[in-house]
Amino acid sequence: MADIDIDKLFADMKAKFVKGKVDEPVVFYFSLGDEKWTLTIEPDDLHIQQGKTENADCFLKTDKALFLKMIKGEWTPGVMDFMSGKVKSNDPFKLKILQDVFGG
């Protein structure tokens, strides 16, 4: 797979954002290889910024290709993905919010 343009991926996420899928703000921190991003999902808005936050409700550590598949709704991490270390998160159940708010 060609190198994934993370800037474009997050810009596309902003365009696909579905309002009204959360009742209160949820902060995600993504560690995608050498890329670090923070995403704040609010009931009616989405904020994306490069870099790490200390106040994330949920973190996700994986590679760029798997993250892209997850956001597109083509893949959902399973137990074996977490057990093998392919995906790490402090709250795997919150990851479903990502698919809900991006129409996946």
For residue 83, the model assigns a pLDDT of 94
pLDDT, greater one: 22 or 9:
22
Mean pLDDT of the chain: 90
Give the residue numbers spanning the domain of 17: 6-101
Q: Is 1 a domain residue?
A: no
In the block, which residue shows the tokens 């991926």? 9
Domain-embedded: residue 38: yes
Q: Is residue 62 part of a domain?
A: yes
pTM: 0.90
Task: Over range 42-69, report the average pLDDT.
Answer: 94
User: Considering the domain boundaries, does residue 59 fall inside one?
Assistant: yes
Count of the separate structural domains present in the chain: 1
- Identify the weakest region by mean pLDDT among 41-50, 57-66, 91-100: 91-100
68 vs 53: CA distance, rounded Å: 21
- Is residue 51 predicted with pLDDT exceeding 60? yes
Q: Which residue has the tokens 């159940």?
A: 93
Here the CATH number for the domain that contains residue 19 is: 3.30.1050.10
Domain membership of residue 88 (yes or no) is yes
Q: Specify the residue for token string 């057990």.
A: 83
Q: Which helix (H) or strand (E) holds 35?
A: strand 35-41
Residue 93 resides in a domain: yes
Pair of tokens at residue 34 = 């050498």
The verdict on residue 20 lying in a domain is yes
